Amino acid sequence: MCCTHSGVLPSRPTEHTIFKSIYFFDPNGHRLELAVDTATPQMNAELDKVKWDMLEEWSKTKQAPQHAAWMHEKH
């Protein structure tokens, strides 16, 4: 059965640079996300270099770390 026939309407795909997602609500009202990894090996390598620094910064500030700001730049 197609999702539109069941009353479940997915969102448009959302680009998160290293993955893409679609969101929808199931018939019980639970919000669900389906995601697919789109990161390149180079992107993963860059993130791997800063992952622990990012975690440390976030644990102290509860703010989004800027170590991987390149992921949010529009090209």
Domain boundaries, the chain: 1-38, 40-75
Residue 3: is its pLDDT beyond 80? no
Q: Calculate the alpha carbon distances from 38 to 15, 27, 43, 68, 69 in Å.
A: 9, 29, 10, 16, 17
Round to whole Å and give the CA distance between 25 and 74.
29
Q: Average pLDDT, stretch 64-73?
A: 83
* pLDDT tens column, 28-41: 889 999 999 999 99
Assess whether pLDDT exceeds 60 at residue 2: no
d(CA 54, CA 64): 8
Q: In the predicted model, what is the mean pLDDT of the chain?
A: 86
The pLDDT of residue 28 is: 87
Q: What is the H or E stretch that residue 25 is in?
A: strand 19-25
Structure tokens at 38: 């789109």
pTM for the whole thing?
0.66
Is the pLDDT higher at 42 or at 27?
Answer: 42
